[in-house]
Structure 1
Amino acid sequence: MENKKGNKKAVIGVAALAAAVVVFAVIFLVFRPKPVEGSKSVTIEVVNQSSETESYPLKTDAEFLRQAMEEAEGLTFSGAESEYGMMVDTVNGVKADYTADGAYWAFFVNGEYCNYGIEEQPVLDGDVFSIVYTAAQ
């Protein structure tokens, strides 16, 4: 009798977990960033550790920020690839090393922190992206 109750609880637990996974998958599909196809005019600004700004205006068909960054003439960047996309640590030859001094590159779109990584941040016509060297406080 005790074993049947244990099995029933296990089945209910697995069913609840499966239902939760389905709910979160549906929520992600509904609310995920949606790219816009077609030509767009955007600007990418890089603010270095000396607060000097370099601007890269471009016309692009890119749907996501990384594609636009790759198209921006003169802009260079690199970082570590992960399952979540690229973690940018170097922009225009300037490395931000969080483990050494707490510095990192912050990404903004139209003055607000980007909600997604560069792989999934949508590019919309008129967007101004800022990549800002940010030192530890």
Structure 2
Amino acid sequence: MTIRAEQWTPPNGPEPTALPMGRWWDAVRVEESVGERVLGILGEQSGAVIKDRCSTLYWLIAPGTAVSWNLRGVCVLAETEGVATYLGVPPAERLTPPGTYWRVPFIRGRYLTDSHLLYKALISVLLAEPGEGQEGDR
């Protein structure tokens, strides 16, 4: 599946800028321990990934492609019923900490991750470590 990435680029300037979901992309947020394993599965198939000050990872995906997801520990950030959700997006050059940076660098035209592949990788990681109240705890 080919994802058509709009001609969007990260903001200029030294600091992250809060940008709304839904226009160019939505985002999928996971904690670092899950996200790093997902990156291992996706490899070169991952688009750009933002890592924030709290060691949380964010994949950029096509708008509206993950709104129905209901996965433990996974938050889909999207515009909901006309209400905007924002994500702090670093400048393209920010590739290292401190602060919010690109864990997987932004590449024009290739920054979106295929949401179907991301979902499959998340399921794989989450099934490997069932949480409290999950079937694997019995």
Alignment TM-score > 0.5, same fold: no
User: Would you tell me which structure has more strand in proportion to its own residues?
Assistant: 1
User: Would you tell me which structure has more helix in proportion to its own residues?
Assistant: 1
TM (norm. structure 1) is 0.28
Larger RCO (alpha carbons 8 Å, 6+ apart): 2
